[in-house]
Amino acid sequence: MNWAQIGERLAEATGLNALTLGHGIMLGVACFLVYLAVVRRYEPLLLLPIAFGVLLANLPLAGLMEEGGLLFWLYQGVRLGIFPPLIFLGVGAMTDFGPLLANPKTFLLGAAAQFGIFMTFTGALLLGFTPAQASSIGIIGGADGPTAIFLTSRLAPELLGPIAIAAYSYMALVPIIQPPIMKALTTKAEREVVMEQLRPVGKGERVAFPIVVTVVTSVLLPPAAPLIGMLMLGNLFRESGVVERLTTTAQGELINIVTIFLAVTVGATASADRFLTVQTLSIIALGLVAFAFGTAAGVVLGKVMYLLTGGKVNPLIGSAGVSAVPMAARVVQIVGQEAKPGNFLLMHAMGPNVAGVIGSAVAAGVLLAMFGK
Amino acid sequence: MNWAQIGERLAEATGLNALTLGHGIMLGVACFLVYLAVVRRYEPLLLLPIAFGVLLANLPLAGLMEEGGLLFWLYQGVRLGIFPPLIFLGVGAMTDFGPLLANPKTFLLGAAAQFGIFMTFTGALLLGFTPAQASSIGIIGGADGPTAIFLTSRLAPELLGPIAIAAYSYMALVPIIQPPIMKALTTKAEREVVMEQLRPVGKGERVAFPIVVTVVTSVLLPPAAPLIGMLMLGNLFRESGVVERLTTTAQGELINIVTIFLAVTVGATASADRFLTVQTLSIIALGLVAFAFGTAAGVVLGKVMYLLTGGKVNPLIGSAGVSAVPMAARVVQIVGQEAKPGNFLLMHAMGPNVAGVIGSAVAAGVLLAMFGK
Amino acid sequence: MNWAQIGERLAEATGLNALTLGHGIMLGVACFLVYLAVVRRYEPLLLLPIAFGVLLANLPLAGLMEEGGLLFWLYQGVRLGIFPPLIFLGVGAMTDFGPLLANPKTFLLGAAAQFGIFMTFTGALLLGFTPAQASSIGIIGGADGPTAIFLTSRLAPELLGPIAIAAYSYMALVPIIQPPIMKALTTKAEREVVMEQLRPVGKGERVAFPIVVTVVTSVLLPPAAPLIGMLMLGNLFRESGVVERLTTTAQGELINIVTIFLAVTVGATASADRFLTVQTLSIIALGLVAFAFGTAAGVVLGKVMYLLTGGKVNPLIGSAGVSAVPMAARVVQIVGQEAKPGNFLLMHAMGPNVAGVIGSAVAAGVLLAMFGK
Amino acid sequence: MTDELFLGLQTTLVGMGVTFLALSLLVAVSYLVAAAFRPRSTLEQQAAAAPGGPPVAVIAAAVLACLGQTDVRVTAVRRLEEAKAWRQSGRAAQMQARRSTLEKRWR
Amino acid sequence: MTDELFLGLQTTLVGMGVTFLALSLLVAVSYLVAAAFRPRSTLEQQAAAAPGGPPVAVIAAAVLACLGQTDVRVTAVRRLEEAKAWRQSGRAAQMQARRSTLEKRWR
Amino acid sequence: MTDELFLGLQTTLVGMGVTFLALSLLVAVSYLVAAAFRPRSTLEQQAAAAPGGPPVAVIAAAVLACLGQTDVRVTAVRRLEEAKAWRQSGRAAQMQARRSTLEKRWR
Ligand code: NA
Ligand code: NA
Ligand code: NA
């Protein structure tokens, strides 16, 4: 090699010449997301690695997400639909479905709150998105990260970055988004309803529950099986009480490892050319619509239940049906206590809250059945 | 889309139309296995995820085990022969070969107990199984799950479900299967033999042991190398005392993660058309033969040793040679104490018990050498 | 089958006939490495599994590293460049860059110490190695195992075994290699310099640091991005304080699992025909040169800083620039206290020490840019 | 525009319909599960706690048949003794096998 | 021989040059980072500790607009109350939700 | 039928033969290992506990030769001092480097 050749080689290799304004803006976006995660504490477990993934994907010439790059390999776990169900395995191992078993009617609140998904789907269609893309945008309203990532990786992987970012950001903003809607749609009398204590739930029920939920939902709607199946396997580990080692691993090291890989690579799908579009702004706006309509629909069904039960159901718990576990249930608790200090709605809200996880997975199954390949 | 098209799409998507009697029976089998695991505590660490795998594989149209499905991907770790050796890595990190080093003659009891494998092989041939299938059925008598799964995934993957279920079920039943055989084959005088205390084993021996075992068995019989090699690597981690982090991981999170993936996907090989056959019933019957003959052969060699040593060896410890660590060794302890309260045979039985793990891996190596592709 | 066929089959299968002198010598090498790891405690976390990998790869006919073998599959994580960055993720989560942030000038000492890499590169060229091979040999002087393995897996995978063994062995020998060089190049007055205490470093700086380091180094030199990016992601997890779960996993179970797989398979690249060559001896000799020159260059720049700051910098801390964290920094402490008991240089040496990790990754990036495919 | 709106409302209807159908089914099976387990739950747990059980005799008989043995009595008393010995052994094993506490059963 | 030596020295020069360049840049940005964060660090942390903040009003307004609601007042006072209730609820939740302590948020 | 029986018995013979051969070899090597380690085990451990050792002088000499240095004395006394200082440093380091306790060596 002569000096000129070396100079050429280095000039080709350095990213300085390839640096574009787009890269610069995306690095700014990444820093903003780090700020939201670290300073504002918006879902840091997901948003911090997502932010760093955005940064890594926008380093010129580093090629980490190109075929053969480090993040490309790790991304296969998302692309093949492996990571989101594994995260649901851990979520299932963490989730107590007891409040739902104690009051199964609250399943319906978890169904109603999926309304935001389909309204947003319609809105996205009207804004010119394809049905597959609109489905992925609508699912933001499910307020379940793994479900959103699973569906989007199947229907519209090109939108994975903005959808995941919108989903986790709005989940973090649930305490700000929901209360005004909840109050606008309810009377003070409704918010003051004290609900009767939940019955205790036995071990037999707890063990049978994940099995029957898996069978019923998966037979009815097979595309929901990977998510529901793994969620319920994790829950069966938990409730069986005989495989503590596996429960601990599923909700501990396994979910942590998968979260790192999933979040970094989902963030890394947000390259400048894909992310810096009007579509991204639309997605962010539509995501807010999704959360708002989901909350509203949950509360409205809560009001219906209030009427049908002669005032035994506090309609606020309907808003927890969007899931965003356990944040949305805590919001119910707060808004309820504002209306009537000492009223304890948290456990009542946990029923629709965990039902919302199942509801969103079912909704994702419907969308996959209708618009999947 | 018009309404008819949507109806068609959903009718195609739902599993209700595809549900067969076979699916229903398999879901019943899955529930029975959950019952065995949770209520009867039959090897729940393996049998519970296996049961759920059976369930997931028999959800109509869910396609979790079809190319591209979630369990299909996880199953590659079984198909490529990766998961069973990794489980052996953890088993090695948990295993104390000290009792075997203190009394190396008990290695021979771990050899004798492999007799059940080959008798069952013969029986399976006579029932019309191919040599490769018969090998996989015989290996149930090894009473080592990972060895059985490793060999079967190589020789007769179509039988993986029933073989794994039979292997783990009979392992759980060792306290019921073995005692009558042990008592039928021994006199009370033999069962009352008190054995002299084992010598302490130094660190040097403990570190050298996994190395020489790997070299000797793998040079003699290379197909046994993946299992023996990983078992001994785990044991070297343990005995070296200088890599505690790796020992902890090998016998903790790593084995847990691999167990979840292995057990669920092994269970998921049991689709209705493969499982609901006369073969499955034959396998379950033959598995019992395998355990019974293995136990008997171990005890018989124990009796020979009793004679040759002038009564210094209690023949009961031979039955521990089938492995099923540490259950079979505990059975020896119980049966021994029934004959002579206060007699402590547990540590003496641990020698043949862990030797049986090596013995089965060697037997699997022979079968692979003879009937492998 | 008749008896002759069975005999033939077994004769083909056993490794006894295929055993060569080369295998025997390699098994001896493996035992020697076990001795170094267990008795001498040379980097046992890496050297013990590497040693066992050497052993496993030299079992005749076991074929563990051949296509389809167990270690072949695990090795893909090395071949595709996945494992070394994941180890750096954990290293980043363990590393405190505070001392470097408190005194950023010490970055330059981490640059100077990379001189050993390039001198050794030149030496290797003169001994007849190709530029790609010479780069991989030179990187031993970086005293960073993952960097060495990452670069070598890309440029000269055929040398992976000896290079990894040399790298980790010399890292363990840092307390023996460095002191004579440090003393030979410094006066007693220089070694007695007491440095002023480091300022405390705030959380904001700590969080911003991994981000700016990633951006600056990766934009300047994209091939360094996988290593630097993951190192800094781990550090961001640590310093953010909001993702403790991920920090714990990155520096715990994840790094442990990856270490087992990486070390065993890197060791397993050392088959007899590749390892028992004059090249291996050259590599071992050159590796020592690399460490020696790196140390010397660090100390020399330390002396320059001593002069420029009017004696405020103790030149000994330059030797810590080779990295080998935290061993080299401890050596500085020891040699410093020999000259002036009570002088506490450890924290001052940690700056160049962790800078050396970044420095080596940059040097690896340069070599990849110049001699990569 | 009209097409999109139509598809949107259609999907909303179908989607919400299926979601409500699925979760209504789950309401129903949840009540069934509760009904199936609530009254018997304490009995069930007692049964679970009892060592051995129905399959024991069958399998023991099969084992003996398989070995051509008929002179061994399989009685309920025997099984209870076993269970007792088992607990004793368990305790003794716990005291001694300090090194193998982690040996949950994989083999 | 000469060629190898030349390539070696050339690479040494280039390699050490780039390494020093990169790490010098890092020296520079480290000082910049220190300068950017040191004076403001305590203020920053106070800001971080405060619940809600600039985006709150914007988003709340957007939510309301989106629902066609205008009669709900979005005031600073309101937000402080929320924060207080939040903390109370947090405490209560902690006491009750014993089983879900591990439920960090993935959903 | 006869064929299957023959293959079965043949395989049993060969299989049990190889298994006994392999495990008999392991009996033999186990005794060898025991013989090799038992008498010397305490000495071995002492050697292991001693810092530095045979390779130290060789490598130190090589390092010096490589640097063209000859005026540095490599003595046994020197090494012992190092070991002492090492322990001191270790202790001091432990007290200070609170944040890096987990830093087992990977680099
Ligand atoms: Na949801
Ligand atoms: Na066995
Ligand atoms: Na370095």
Q: What is the largest CA-CA distance in chain E?
A: 86
Q: Is the pLDDT assigned to residue A145 strictly greater than 60? A: yes
The whole-angstrom separation of Cα C195 and Cα C197 is 6
Quick one: CA dihedral F88, F89, F91, F92, positive or negative? Answer: positive
Q: Is the pLDDT assigned to residue E83 strictly greater than 90? A: no
pLDDT confidence bin for D38, thresholds 50/70/90: low
Q: Secondary structure of chain A in the HEC alphabet?
A: CCHHHHHHHHHHHCCCCCCCHHHHHHHHHHHHHHHHHHCCCCCHHHHHHHHHHHHHHCCCCCCCCCCCCHHHHHHHHHHCCCHHHHHHHHHHHHCCCHHHHHCHHHHHHHHHCCHHHHHHHHHHHHCCCCHHHHHHHHHHHHCCHHHHHHHHHHHCHHHHHHHHHHHHHHHHCHHHHHHHHHHHHCCHHHHCCCCCCCCCCCHHHHHHHHHHHHHHHHHHCHHHHHHHHHHHHHHHHHHHCCCHHHHHHHHHHHHHHHHHHHHHHHHHCCCHHHHCCHHHHHHHHHHHHHHHHHHHHHHHHHHHHHHHCCCCCCHHHHHHHHCCCCHHHHHHHHHHHHHCCCCCCHHHHHHHHHHHHHHHHHHHHHHHHHHCC
Name the more confident of B285 and F85: B285
pLDDT confidence bin for F25, thresholds 50/70/90: very high
For chain C, what percent of residues have pLDDT higher than 70? 100
Phi-psi region of B41 (alpha: psi -120 to 50; beta: other; left: phi over 0): left
Under a CB-based contact definition with an 8 Å cutoff, are residues A37 and A168 in contact?
no
**CA-to-CA separations, B279 to A114, B137, B170, B368, D58, in angstroms, rounded:** 47, 10, 17, 22, 21
- Tokens 């800078």 — which residue? C355
Under a CB-based contact definition with an 8 Å cutoff, are residues C342 and C226 in contact?
no
Name the more confident of C60 and F65: C60
- pLDDT at residue F85, rounded to an integer: 36
Q: Is the pLDDT assigned to residue A354 strictly greater than 80? A: yes
Quick one: CA dihedral F1, F5, F10, F16, positive or negative? Answer: positive
- pLDDT at residue B9, rounded to an integer: 85
**Tell me: the pLDDT tens digits for A147-170?**
999 999 999 999 999 999 999 999
**Tell me: the pLDDT tens digits for A307-345?**
999 999 999 999 999 988 889 999 999 999 999 999 999
| Virtual torsion, Cα B311, B316, B321, B322, nearest 10 deg | 160
Helix (H, G, I), strand (E, B) or coil at D52: coil
Give me ligand 1 centre to Cα A360, in Å.
4
For chain A, what percent of residues have pLDDT higher than 90? 94
The whole-angstrom separation of Cα A65 and Cα A76 is 11
CB within 8 Å: C330 and F86: yes
- pLDDT at residue A304, rounded to an integer: 96
CA of E16, closest CA in chain C: separation in Å? 7
The whole-angstrom separation of Cα E7 and Cα C367 is 12
Name the more confident of E94 and C108: C108
List CB contacts (< 8 A) between D105 and chain B: 43, 45, 171, 324-327
The whole-angstrom separation of Cα B313 and Cα B178 is 19
pLDDT confidence bin for E38, thresholds 50/70/90: low
- pLDDT at residue A324, rounded to an integer: 87
- pLDDT at residue F39, rounded to an integer: 57
List the subunits that have 3+ CB pairs under 8 angstroms with F.
Answer: B, C
Q: Do chains C and E touch (3 or more CB pairs under 8 A)?
A: yes
Query: Which of B138-142, B147-151, B369-373 has the lowest average pLDDT?
Result: B369-373
| Residues contacting B8, CB < 8 A, separation 6+ | none
User: Phi and psi dihedrals of B303, rounded to 5?
Assistant: -65, -40
CB within 8 Å: C327 and F89: no
Under a CB-based contact definition with an 8 Å cutoff, are residues A64 and C225 in contact?
yes
Q: Give me C232's structure tokens.
A: 């800094």
Phi-psi region of A143 (alpha: psi -120 to 50; beta: other; left: phi over 0): left
Distance between start and end Cα atoms, chain F: 64
Give me ligand 2 centre to Cα C155, in Å.
45
Helix (H, G, I), strand (E, B) or coil at D96: helix
| ipTM, 2 dp | 0.87
Q: Does A239 touch chain E (CB under 8 A)?
A: no
List CB contacts (< 8 A) between E8 and chain C: 118, 121-123, 125-126, 134
Give me ligand 3 centre to Cα C324, in Å.
7
- pLDDT at residue D82, rounded to an integer: 36
CB within 8 Å: E107 and A357: yes
Closest partner residue to A70 (CB to CB) among C226, C241, C369 is C226
Q: Is the pLDDT assigned to residue E101 strictly greater than 70? A: no
List the subunits that have 3+ CB pairs under 8 angstroms with D.
Answer: A, B
Q: Give me B80's structure tokens.
A: 């490529």
Distance between start and end Cα atoms, chain C: 52
**CA-to-CA separations, A14 to A9, C213, C368, E5, in angstroms, rounded:** 9, 16, 12, 26
- pLDDT at residue A13, rounded to an integer: 87
Residues of chain C with pLDDT under 50: none
Name the more confident of D3 and F99: D3
**H helix intervals, D38-53:** 41-49
| Virtual torsion, Cα F66, F72, F75, F80, nearest 10 deg | -100
The whole-angstrom separation of Cα A313 and Cα D73 is 62
- pLDDT at residue E65, rounded to an integer: 52
Q: How many CB atoms sit inside 10 A of residue A225's CB?
A: 29
For residue F66, the chain C residue with the least C-alpha distance is: C289
Closest partner residue to B62 (CB to CB) among A89, A222, A233 is A222
Most confident of C265-279, E65-79, F81-95: C265-279
Omega of the bond prior to B175 within 30 degrees of 0, cis? no
**Tell me: the pLDDT tens digits for B223-265?**
999 999 999 999 999 999 999 999 999 999 999 999 999 999 9
For residue D90, the chain B residue with the least C-alpha distance is: B330
Q: In terms of C-beta distances under 8 Å and separation of at least 24 residues, what long-range contacts does F75-81 make, across chains too? A: F79/F51, F79/F52, F81/C338
List CB contacts (< 8 A) between B70 and chain A: 81-82, 85, 226, 229-230
CB within 8 Å: A13 and C222: yes
User: Count of residues for chain D?
Assistant: 107
What does pLDDT average to over chain D? 60
Q: Does B11 touch chain A (CB under 8 A)?
A: no
The whole-angstrom separation of Cα B352 and Cα B321 is 5
**Tell me: the pLDDT tens digits for A61-84?**
999 999 999 999 999 999 999 999
pLDDT confidence bin for B113, thresholds 50/70/90: very high
The whole-angstrom separation of Cα B81 and Cα C140 is 34
User: Count of residues for chain B?
Assistant: 373
DSSP class of B127 = T
Q: DSSP letters of C85-103?
A: HHHHHHHHHH---HHHHHS
- pLDDT at residue F1, rounded to an integer: 62
**Burial letters for C270-293: b for 16+ Cβ neighbours within 10 Å, e otherwise?**
bbbebbbeebbebbbbbbbbbbbb
Under a CB-based contact definition with an 8 Å cutoff, are residues A32 and A18 in contact?
no
pLDDT confidence bin for B186, thresholds 50/70/90: very high
pLDDT confidence bin for E1, thresholds 50/70/90: low
Give me ligand 2 centre to Cα B94, in Å.
16
Under a CB-based contact definition with an 8 Å cutoff, are residues B106 and B352 in contact?
yes
Residues 40-69 of D with CB under 8 A from A: 40-41, 44-45
Q: Does B290 touch chain D (CB under 8 A)?
A: no
Name the more confident of B302 and E45: B302
The whole-angstrom separation of Cα B11 and Cα A221 is 10
Average pLDDT over residues B175-192: 95
The whole-angstrom separation of Cα E63 and Cα A250 is 37
- pLDDT at residue F65, rounded to an integer: 52
The whole-angstrom separation of Cα C110 and Cα C321 is 4
Average pLDDT over residues B146-159: 96
**CA-to-CA separations, B271 to A213, B58, B275, in angstroms, rounded:** 20, 6, 6
Q: Do chains A and B touch (3 or more CB pairs under 8 A)?
A: yes
- Tokens 């609109």 — which residue? A134
Residue B92: alpha-carbon gap to chain centroid? 14
Under a CB-based contact definition with an 8 Å cutoff, are residues C280 and C160 in contact?
no
Nearest Cα residue to C218 out of A8, A53, E22: E22
